[in-house]
């Protein structure tokens, strides 16, 4: 099944406009202008209007870093919230990598995590968040009652996720600073199982000891291992890929090569701006099994 999914109830986020390789967004009360390579069309509002509305604009210095130009006086850090039956908080910040600490299109997956964990009756689900970044998926799982494991290779990002947990008045998330592939290999050897797993791997990355990750080279091995970690009776899995040229059909093939899910869904995540333009932001594959 091929789907196109977008968040529908994220009150603290708004894609106001996009185009000319940029996007105008609101995170809580802060409006930002950031680069967006997928936005190849024209903007709906004139760019002068963007700068009147925005508080900050990201100015790239290279393909991977840049600086924030403040157009209005705002703090470098602020908080937003998310509610989908459960609630959690996220601390945002202006980073040199154009990110602010959340990928709003992933709210679709937070909802799926919450629904999946709530569907597992008579067990305390065990959830693993790989390439976990600042931990919104971990917060969704923990707030739904799961025993939650959060893994990222960057210690500072894990510390940021811990701040989000404390801000959300949650506790007992297990923090793991490690290379994702190494961790998964060890868990398979140990025979450990999880009821839910999400992985959102980058196109390129490095582990804490210099391990190299390249999506197209490593994702096949990663999926073969991850699928072995799923509990046979009650499980769900979400695989994301934000990499130009990676389609949902590739993700479908990766899953089906090693697993035969009963209700596999594949498609695109997107955000829709106030002028109905749809901004694609990655492919996904997901499935769930619930035993009564």
pLDDT in tens, 237-256: 999 998 667 889 999 999 99
Q: Is residue 73 part of a domain?
A: yes
CATH (domain of 60): 2.60.40.1180
7 and 112 belong to one structural domain: no
Given 26, 46, 77, the domain boundary residue is 77
Given 15, 42, 77, the domain boundary residue is 77
Q: Is residue 154 part of a domain?
A: yes
Residue 47 exposure: Cα atoms within 13 Å on the Cβ side: 9
126 and 241 belong to one structural domain: yes
Number of domains in the chain: 2
Residue 96 main-chain phi, psi, to 5 deg: -75, 0
Local structure of residue 227 (DSSP, 8 states): G
Mean pLDDT for 10-20 is 98
**Per-residue model confidence (pLDDT) at position 1:** 60
105 and 241 belong to one structural domain: yes
| pLDDT per residue as tens digits for the range 137-181 | 999 999 999 999 999 999 999 999 999 999 999 999 999 999 999
Q: Is residue 93 part of a domain?
A: no
37 and 153 belong to one structural domain: no
Of 127, 132, 134, 133, the residue nearest 90 (C-alpha): 134
66 and 168 belong to one structural domain: no
105 and 185 belong to one structural domain: yes
Q: Is residue 87 part of a domain?
A: no
| pLDDT per residue as tens digits for the range 216-230 | 788 999 999 999 999
- Two tokens, residue 172: 């007992």
Greatest alpha-carbon span in the chain:
58
CA-CA-CA-CA torsion for 106, 108, 114, 116, nearest 10 degrees? -110
Which residue range is the domain that position 196 belongs to?
Answer: 99-289
40 and 155 belong to one structural domain: no
CATH (domain of 278): 3.40.50.150
152 and 283 belong to one structural domain: yes
Q: Is residue 120 part of a domain?
A: yes
Q: Is the pTM of this model over 0.75?
A: yes
73 and 118 belong to one structural domain: no
40 and 171 belong to one structural domain: no
217 and 112 belong to one structural domain: yes
Residue 47 main-chain phi, psi, to 5 deg: -60, -25
| Residue linked to tokens 């210099």 | 210
What distance in Å separates the CA atoms of residue 92 and residue 104, rounded to the nearest whole number?
Answer: 12
| pLDDT per residue as tens digits for the range 87-132 | 999 999 999 989 999 999 999 999 999 999 999 988 999 999 999 9
Q: Is residue 91 part of a domain?
A: no
Q: Is residue 83 part of a domain?
A: no
Q: Is residue 69 part of a domain?
A: yes
**Per-residue model confidence (pLDDT) at position 216:** 79
pLDDT band at 212 (very low <50, low <70, confident <90, very high): confident
Q: Is the pLDDT of residue 292 over 90?
A: no
281 and 164 belong to one structural domain: yes
């Amino acid at each position: 099944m091929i789907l196109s999914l977008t968040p529908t109830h994220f009150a603290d986020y708004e894609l106001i406009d996009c185009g000319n390789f940029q996007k105008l967004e609101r995170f809580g009360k802060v409006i930002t202008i950031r680069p967006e390579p997928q936005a190849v069309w024209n903007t709906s509002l004139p760019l002068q209007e963007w700068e009147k509305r925005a508080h900050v604009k990201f100015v790239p210095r290279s393909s991977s870093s840049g600086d924030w130009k403040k157009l209005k006086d705002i703090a470098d850090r602020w908080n937003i919230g998310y509610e989908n039956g459960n609630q959690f908080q996220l601390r945002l910040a202006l980073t040199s990598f154009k990110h602010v600490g959340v990928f709003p299109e992933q709210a679709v997956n937070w909802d799926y995590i919450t629904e999946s964990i709530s569907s597992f009756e008579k067990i305390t689900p065990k959830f693993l968040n790989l390439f976990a970044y600042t931990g919104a998926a971990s917060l969704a799982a923990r707030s739904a009652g799961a025993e939650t494991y959060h893994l990222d290779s960057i210690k500072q990002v894990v510390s940021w996720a811990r701040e989000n947990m404390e801000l959300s008045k949650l506790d007992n998330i297990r923090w793991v600073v490690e290379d994702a592939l190494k961790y998964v290999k060890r868990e398979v050897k140990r025979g450990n199982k999880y009821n839910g797993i999400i992985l959102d791997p980058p196109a390129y990355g490095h582990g804490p000891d210099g391990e190299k990750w390249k999506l197209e080279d490593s994702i096949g091995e990663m999926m073969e291992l991850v699928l072995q970690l799923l509990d046979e009776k009650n499980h769900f899995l979400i695989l994301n890929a934000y990499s130009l040229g990676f389609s949902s059909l590739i993700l479908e093939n990766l899953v089906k090569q090693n697993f035969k899910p009963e209700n596999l869904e594949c498609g695109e995540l997107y955000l829709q701006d106030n002028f109905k333009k749809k901004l694609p932001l990655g492919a996904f594959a997901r499935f769930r099994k619930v035993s009564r």
